[in-house]
Amino acid sequence: MSKLGILLNSDKYRDDVVGVIKAAKAAGHDVDVFMMDDGVLLAPDVSSECSGEAQFAYCDHSAEPRGVKDVEGATAGSQYQNAVMMHDADKVVVF
């Protein structure tokens, strides 16, 4: 089983992100998603729609000024979660 990492730093590609997560999971891959910058704006929506299909974390430093907090199904963290995702992933996609 391979691990796909998804760095989400924009809120422009919501449907693409959901599609890739679902397709990767259906193909038997693990998926990690880290959201930062404007990407955190999609955290509630994407983590809800793809619940159980990926591990979600977001940068609290980006989330706080954008009014995003306490996202169900996602871990509020720091750039450490991003570093670990990059380290563990076999491939990374940036949206």
Partner 1 sequence: MSDTKKLAVIVRDRQGEALRMSLGLVLADDEVTVYNLGAPIERNDDNNLNIESLEMMDCKLFSVNQADEGFEQINMQQVPLKLLEYDHVIAY
Q: Which of residues 33-92 bind partner 1 (CB under 8 A)?
A: 36-37, 62, 78-80, 82-84, 86-87, 89, 91-92
Q: How far is the CB of 9 from partner 1 (least distance, A)?
A: 6
Task: Please give the C-alpha separations between residue 82 and each of 23, 27, 31, 75, in angstroms, as whole numbers.
Answer: 22, 23, 13, 12
The tokens for 21 are: 């997560």
Q: How far is the CB of 39 from partner 1 (least distance, A)?
A: 10
The helix (H) or strand (E) run that includes residue 90 is none
CB 70 within 8 A of CB 93: no
Query: 4, 6, 7, 33: which one contacts partner 1 (CB under 8 A)?
Result: 7
Q: Which is nearer to partner 1, 36 or 71 (CB)?
A: 36
Stretch of 5-13, 22-30, 49-57, 64-72 contacting partner 1, by CB under 8 A: 5-13
Residue type, 71: V
The tokens for 29 are: 């891959």
- How many chain residues touch partner 1 (CB under 8 A)? 18
